[in-house]
Amino acid sequence: MKLISWNIDSINAALTSDSARAQMSRQVLKTIQTEDPDILAIQETKLSAKGPTKKHLTILKEYFPDYKVVWRSSIEPARKGYAGTMYLYRKKLMPVVTYPEIGAPDTMDQEGRIITLEFEDYYITQVYTPNAGGELKRLASRQVWDEKYRQYLVDLASRKPVLASGDFNVAHQEIDLAHPASNHHSAGFTDEERAGFTNLLAAGFSDSFRALHPDTKNVYSWWAQRAKTSKINNSGWRIDYWLVSDNILDKVTASVMLDSGDRQDHTPIKLEINL
């Protein structure tokens, strides 16, 4: 089974804009199309509460015919057009789709951050983890989220193995970002966020990329758009993950980043596993 996860940073912009960045986004979609995944998880869709328009669905069908689309958008009282997640999966697959709430603080449960696909022998779930925010204004809430999300995955794993992907908004170890020293107190690399991720892994999950590539340096999944040379200089962060239950780690055959060319922001991540 081949699975891909990508924070797209606005489906509407990627599919309908004529900007240079949108054209690069569509090239990434073509790369994903060539990979021919069984399941594609997408984060930060930034769609309205009504979800994708007919135009969006038509364009997605051109890229991915024979796939079913399920989505979850931010709804009031959360911000409009914020966060959001989506799955595209082959129509022959027939998962039970759920849109869990985990008892998260603030409006996090209304921001469309989690979708879970239940299959006979395993779960596949994706997450768009809340960012701690500028000046770490949301760090305390983020810490509560991390614990609630950990409890949610542990509950799933008590029933059957779990594959969890998405933008976790944390670089776990110093090897996972280009400049750890200067980012020690930055959102995504605080001691608190890193500890939250450590606790998640300790609950029975493996970071599939690091498990297969324990000493590999300079491999990242995100490069800041605001820094024009971040991609050129590979000043990146690895904040997107495929986690798997420890008891199926031996079934993973590949966990890699896909090449997104010159496009900054997130790159897709791919997991291949024999289930």
CA torsion through residues 78, 83, 88, 89, sign: negative
Could you please report the per-residue DSSP string of 196-229? HHHHHHHTTEEEHHHHH-TT--S--SEE-SSSTT
Contact 165, 206 (CB under 8 A): no
Amino acid (1-letter code) at residue 126: Q
**The token pair that represents 85 in the structure block:** 């997640």
Query: How many other C-beta atoms can be found within 10 angstroms of the C-beta atom of residue 37?
Result: 23
Strand pairing category for 123-128 and 67-72: unpaired
9, 109, 146, 167: the active-site residue: 167
Query: What DSSP designation does 9 have?
Result: S
Q: Is residue 81 helix, strand or coil?
A: coil
Give dist(CA 9, CA 46) in Å, integer. Answer: 7
Indicate if 89 belongs to the active site: no
Q: Which phi and psi (to 5°) does residue 54 adopt? A: -60, -35
Residue with tokens 């509950």: 155
Give dist(CA 91, CA 218) in Å, integer. Answer: 37
67, 87, 122, 128: the active-site residue: 128
Contact 104, 144 (CB under 8 A): yes
Indicate if 167 belongs to the active site: yes
- Annotated catalytic sites, by residue? 128, 167
